Amino acid sequence: MALFGRHMIKVDETEVNLGNVLTILHKALPWHWHNRSDINYLWHYYRGNQPILNREKDVRPEINNKIVENRANQIVSFKSGYLMGEPLQYVAKGQDEGITDAINQLNQYAEAEGKAAKDKKLADWFHICGTAYRMVLPDEEGREDECPFEIYTLDPRNVFVVYNNGLGNKPILGVKYVVSELGVITYSCYSKDEYFEIVDDTIVKHEPHILGDIPIIEYPLNIARIGAFELVIDLLDAINRTQSNQVDGVEQFIQALMLFHNVDITDEKYDELREKGAIKFSDIDPQMRAEVNYLVSNLNQSDTQNLVDSMYDTVLTICGMPNRNGGLSTSDTGSAVIMRDGWSDAEARAKDSELMFKESEQIFLRLVLNICKTLTGMNLKVHNVEIRFTRRNYENITQKAQVLDLMLKNPKVHPQLAFAHSGMFADSELAYKMSKEYWEEEQKRLEKQAQKEAANANTDANTGAGGSDQHDPASRQPSGSKDRTGSDNDH
């Protein structure tokens, strides 16, 4: 099956209304069905339903091993885990305390909604089929919780976004649909400010909405919407065939055919032996001596495995994944291992995916912030929010700590710059603010402790001076009194 990415669905209409929504839907559906067919194939391929399972063998069909070496699943799992292994964070741009507090509230909403797990599902989908879809809606009335909005990760086989064919390819319609048990398809269509529900080419529901934008957002992996393993499917199929043939070779060696040389047997015996793995063969000269041997041809397993390893290395290179080749050197630095084993390629591909993800995430944020403003009064704009991936925060942590310590000790560098450029913190603004507050509280505590110790020292000094008078007998003797050895004794 030839796969070249998913089609971006475009129409000439610039807006959607009650008069043209059916026309736009009819134009978009053929392209969606084509994309859906590809997505369904890639989904089953990822799950292990691969062409090798349909393999047929004409020669010795009883030996027909079907080995699925599911590298597609490995590629998707690595890509999604590497990109979304740590939760996405929203970071404040600027030092306004009001913005920082609002960002903290937004992160709490995202955590309460379980957004990290839903981001992982989204990453799985766009790595499998090249694109993914997310929907955000306000809480339903009567089902409000600690987060004012609901996030849904949609199955890309049952959803699509229609774009305008003009400059910028702006989205004009988001469509999701469900198929009932009776086979009835219900299309839910969202424009920027209207909702249409369509069943059997009939608009059964039409109403305005106040979300401010289309609540269905597409997250393409790249501009061609090509999945993570789609470019190497031919190589993956070749690996499956080679591995299956390799196992066939081992089994055929064990179940080798018998060669009858100058030996004649009846047809019945021949058929019986054929079913059990034997053939008959005779020379033209009947004087030749008879032989019965095993017909054996060994498969070179070493060469076959080298071919498999070569194809697998090519797969890793094309997909931008690290290998497990390792090295003989025991003095490799961390950076040397990263460069040699392909981790730099993996990081480069992840950064490429980040940029595409952020573009769609900003549309998602615009919707979320509009919902939060309406329901909770949160006054936050998209340009106040930075979307940050946190997977690299714990790499080379010792070096980052050393950089932070060195910059903080330099009186010419502002501490906020040290926090921002050390790379230790997902939210450098929040980390700087917390550290500053902690340092100020610690200074106040130490100052109070010093004052208390000084007061205690003064008290001890005063108490010590008073105690010396009490212990001196002369100091307790009243003025004018005479010593026992004085002149009164003489009289």
Is residue 486, in this structure, part of any structural domain at all?
no
Q: Tell me what pLDDT residue 392 has.
A: 62
pLDDT in tens, 3-60: 999 999 999 999 999 999 999 999 999 999 999 999 999 999 999 999 999 998 887 7
Q: Tell me what pLDDT residue 42 has.
A: 97
With residues binned 3-state (H G I as helix, E B as strand, rest as coil), the percentages for the chain, rounded to 5, are 50, 15, 35
Q: Cα dist. 298→62, 63, 187, 301, 303 in Å?
A: 18, 15, 59, 9, 12
Answer yes or no: is pLDDT of 219 > 90.
yes
Q: For residues 102 and 346, is the Cβ–Cβ distance under 8 A?
A: no
The mean pLDDT value for 161-179 works out to 96
Q: Tell me what pLDDT residue 470 has.
A: 47
Percent of the chain with pLDDT over 90: 47
Is residue 374, in this structure, part of any structural domain at all?
yes
Helix 415-422, helix 428-471: angle, nearest 10:
130
Is residue 49, in this structure, part of any structural domain at all?
yes
Answer yes or no: is pLDDT of 194 > 80.
yes
Q: For residues 172 and 16, is the Cβ–Cβ distance under 8 A?
A: yes
How far is 152 from 458, CA to CA, in rounded Å? 68
How far is 284 from 287, CA to CA, in rounded Å? 9
Work out the burial of residue 256: count CB atoms within 10 Å of its CB; fewer than 13 is exposed, 13-18 middle, 19 or more buried.
middle
Q: For residues 32 and 158, is the Cβ–Cβ distance under 8 A?
A: no
Same-domain check for residues 337 and 353: no
Residue 67 is given by DSSP the state: -
Is residue 470, in this structure, part of any structural domain at all?
no
How far is 423 from 401, CA to CA, in rounded Å? 9
Q: Which of 368, 388, 408 is the C-terminal boundary of a domain?
A: 388
52: its two tokens? 């090798």
Same-domain check for residues 180 and 275: no
Domain extent at residue 429? 397-463
- Going by pLDDT thresholds of 50, 70 and 90, the confidence category of residue 260 is low
pLDDT in tens, 476-491: 444 444 444 444 444 4
Residue 164 is given by DSSP the state: E
Answer yes or no: is pLDDT of 346 > 60.
yes
Which residues on adjacent β-strands are paired with residue 137? 150
Q: Tell me what pLDDT residue 2 has.
A: 82
pLDDT in tens, 308-325: 889 999 999 999 998 876
Same-domain check for residues 81 and 198: yes
Q: For residues 216 and 190, is the Cβ–Cβ distance under 8 A?
A: yes
- Going by pLDDT thresholds of 50, 70 and 90, the confidence category of residue 78 is very high
How far is 75 from 54, CA to CA, in rounded Å? 23
Answer yes or no: is pLDDT of 121 > 90.
yes
The mean pLDDT value for 223-235 works out to 95
The mean pLDDT value for 69-87 works out to 93
* Strand 149-154 to 131-138 pairing: antiparallel
Same-domain check for residues 355 and 332: no
Is residue 367, in this structure, part of any structural domain at all?
yes
Q: Tell me what pLDDT residue 248 has.
A: 79
Least confident interval from 143-157, 269-283, 329-343, 354-368: 329-343
pLDDT in tens, 265-289: 777 766 766 666 655 555 556 666 6
Could you tell me which residue, 122 or 394, shows the higher pLDDT? 122
Residue 139 host element (H or E): none
Task: Indicate the average pLDDT of the chain.
Answer: 84
Least confident interval from 216-220, 290-294, 378-382, 395-399: 290-294
Same-domain check for residues 248 and 331: yes
How far is 350 from 319, CA to CA, in rounded Å? 11
Q: How far apart are the first and last CA of the chain?
A: 138
Is residue 473, in this structure, part of any structural domain at all?
no
Helix 71-84, helix 233-254: angle, nearest 10:
140
Amino acid identity, position 430: L
Q: For residues 195 and 205, is the Cβ–Cβ distance under 8 A?
A: yes
- Going by pLDDT thresholds of 50, 70 and 90, the confidence category of residue 416 is confident
Same-domain check for residues 292 and 434: no
Same-domain check for residues 455 and 359: no
Into how many domains does the chain fold? Answer: 3
Is residue 453, in this structure, part of any structural domain at all?
yes
Render 87-151 in DSSP notation, one character per residue.
--EEEESSS-HHHHHHHHHHHHHHHHTTHHHHHHHHHHHHHHHSEEEEEEEEPPTT---SSSEEE
201: left (phi over 0), alpha (psi -120 to 50) or beta: left
Same-domain check for residues 73 and 137: yes
34: phi then psi, degrees, rounded to nearest 5: -65, -45
Answer yes or no: is pLDDT of 327 > 90.
no
Same-domain check for residues 120 and 265: no
Residue 224 is given by DSSP the state: T
Q: Tell me what pLDDT residue 461 has.
A: 78
Same-domain check for residues 99 and 86: yes
Is residue 471, in this structure, part of any structural domain at all?
no
Q: Tell me what pLDDT residue 276 has.
A: 64
Same-domain check for residues 241 and 266: yes
Positive or negative: CA dihedral 186, 190, 195, 201? negative
Same-domain check for residues 157 and 286: no
Q: For residues 123 and 80, is the Cβ–Cβ distance under 8 A?
A: yes
Could you tell me which residue, 459 or 118, shows the higher pLDDT? 118
118: its two tokens? 């839903």
CA atoms within 13 A on the CB side of 215: 24
The mean pLDDT value for 373-380 works out to 90
